[in-house]
Amino acid sequence: MAVGSYEEICADAGAIEVDRRFADKILLPGFVEGHSHIMEGIVWTMPYVGAGDRRSPEGLLVQGIRDVEGIIERLREAADKLSDPDTPLFAWGFDPLHIGGQQLTRWHLDQVSTTRPIMVIHASFHISNVNTLILDRAGLLGPIDISGVVVDEDGRPTGELQGIAARFRVFRMLGGNPLSANLTTDDVNRYAASACIQGVTTITDLHSDLPDNTVDLYRAAAERDDFPIRLVPALASASHSPDDGIAKIERLKQENRPKLHFGIVKLVIDGSIQGFTARVRWPGYHNGASNGLWYVAPEELPRIVERYHRAGIQLHIHTNGDEATELALDAIEAAQTAMPRPDHRHTLQHCQMADAALFRRMRALGVCVNLFANHVYYWGDSHYEQTMGPERAHRLNATGTAQRIGVPYAIHSDAPVTPLGPLFTAWCAVNRVSSGGRVLGRETEALTVAQALAGVTIGAAYTLKLDHVVGSIEVGKFADFAVLEEDPFEVVPEGLKDIPVWGTVVGGHVHKAPGE
């Protein structure tokens, strides 16, 4: 890419053709989504029943549903489209916290069908609701006392299933989990289309076992000119010993090419705040819930971190609660002490509860952070009322603190947990307002529009060690642009999320977003 005025660029170029197609558009650096998952490309094989509006990979606006009756209606429409009467109907995106705590029971789902298996997967992907037929066939209709099979006050299973035993049994009975089947080219293409629709040109798949099938699909896709994204997959630490992980990363890096970048490893330390599985420090959960779960033993973490650190591999560490964040920083500090490594850029992912002191430690240790700005909108009310209480809810995802203290930061969607869309993510960080209209910590933690846009471009590129090739419009970098219909610096901050995206340019190839 060359940058400059017509005269500066073309003076010595001889006879050239000027492409003016974007004369009335705004070109920004292509957006970089530093924390999302290929699952975004898989879920759209199912109907969406979440509360917020979303865009499908075809570019269609899919309306959110805010009551149980509406969910039943949408499931009926989806069931009507299935020709085989026995095919299970799966749907995704439900979260009772987003519709005032309304529960979806098997009796609701029985109104859709009593003869077809129906499963609604929650936005968290950890919980599901099924109809009576599934419970009956799986032998879970009860009376039963298995943790994870939720029962009402009369001891009758409600159809809500959590935990591994119920999941194992139900998916075996149904013939498999559609979300964990082998990845297909269509899934990868849908993911790329969803990115293009939102102006994203570089995107992570931030937790993958990276089996051969997935690597083959990614490699083949990255070779295509019409493939509109640069993919950055992160190897899941949980499924590999550090030795195996290091060897695998070294092998995978041989596959790197302009639109495929292996090299980072993802490490998950705790769960989620709204699921009460994040590890939080005193005073714990606001509603008195017991502390969350470790996904890695605290004494094992330093050993894992040090192995990857010594091997020169960048770690992306999921820490939702502040106790988990502290533990991650302890491990990085020990690794840095054992073997100082300049510019390691280990990055804390989510890092939602960190206070200023933890940010100061990040800065001292050279740690980056990728904050979950969308959470303020989607679960801000739950955090205020139930999980963290007022004071800590205000400092949730403390982008302003990161900015002031000088920790390199990005902001993200964690799609499909929340919708992919960097302009929306930037809007969240600028406005800090919950879906219920509650303003959370705006005076101390809100970003300016310029800072927020940096968080979804060069800031995110920096956390992926790709800031030398993407994230800004500079001579020598890839010609990656988000093509917008309006100038984000001209619209009011409240309007940031509503700016239409025309499409993208990736490496000079123009991709008009699919849509209506």
Partner 1 sequence: MIAAQAAIPMTVVGGFLGAGKTTFLNRLISEAEGRYAVLVNDFGAINVDANLIAHHDGTTIALTNGCVCCSVGGGFIEALGGLLDAGGKFDHIIVEASGVGDPWRIAEIALVEPMLRLNATIVLVDAARIEMLLADPQVGATVRSQFERCDVVLLNKIDLIDRLSLERARDVVEQVCSNACVIETSQASMPNLASLHQRPARSPFYAQPCAVDSADHEITFRRWSYQRDGQFDRSRLALALAALPPELLRLKGACRLAGEANSALLQMAGRAWSLTDAGSEESSGIALVGIGTTSLPDRLELDDILDHALA
State yes or no: residue 406 binds partner 1 (CB under 8 A): no
Q: How far apart are CA 110 and CA 238, in angstroms?
A: 38
The size of the chain, in residues, is 516
Q: What are φ and ψ of residue 83, in 5° steps?
A: -80, -40
| Contacting partner 1 within 344-373 (CB under 8 A) | none
State yes or no: residue 475 binds partner 1 (CB under 8 A): no
Nearest residue (CB) to partner 1, 64 versus 271: 271
State yes or no: residue 133 binds partner 1 (CB under 8 A): no
| Contacting partner 1 within 324-343 (CB under 8 A) | 327
Q: CB of 215: closest distance to partner 1 in angstroms?
A: 14
State yes or no: residue 21 binds partner 1 (CB under 8 A): no
**What's at 210, amino acid-wise?**
L
| Contacting partner 1 within 298-317 (CB under 8 A) | 298-300
Nearest residue (CB) to partner 1, 147 versus 256: 147
Nearest residue (CB) to partner 1, 240 versus 360: 240
Among the listed residues 63, 87, 114, 147, the single contact to partner 1 using CB under 8 A:
147
Among the listed residues 76, 172, 404, 468, the single contact to partner 1 using CB under 8 A:
172
| Contacting partner 1 within 233-252 (CB under 8 A) | 239-241, 243-244
State yes or no: residue 291 binds partner 1 (CB under 8 A): yes
Q: CB of 179: closest distance to partner 1 in angstroms?
A: 11
Q: What are φ and ψ of residue 499, in 5° steps?
A: -65, 125
Q: Which two tokens mark 262?
A: 């292996």
Rg (CA), the chain: 23
Nearest residue (CB) to partner 1, 294 versus 481: 294
State yes or no: residue 184 binds partner 1 (CB under 8 A): no
**3-class state of residue 282 by DSSP:** coil
State yes or no: residue 448 binds partner 1 (CB under 8 A): no
> CB 247: neighbour CB atoms within 10 A?
13
Instruction: Please provide the DSSP assignment of 307-343 as one string.
Output: HHHHTTPPEEEEE-SHHHHHHHHHHHHHHHHHS--TT
State the DSSP code for 385. I
Q: How far apart are CA 383 and CA 417, in angstroms?
A: 16
Residue where the block lists tokens 């020169």? 312
Provide the CB-side half-sphere exposure for 24 (13 A, CA). 0
State yes or no: residue 167 binds partner 1 (CB under 8 A): yes
Among the listed residues 96, 163, 178, 366, the single contact to partner 1 using CB under 8 A:
163
Q: How far apart are CA 49 and CA 39, in angstroms?
A: 16
265 strand-pairing partners: 235, 315
Residues engaged in binding partner 1 (CB under 8 A): 138-140, 142-148, 155, 163-169, 171-172, 177, 180, 209, 211, 239-241, 243-244, 290-291, 293-300, 323, 327
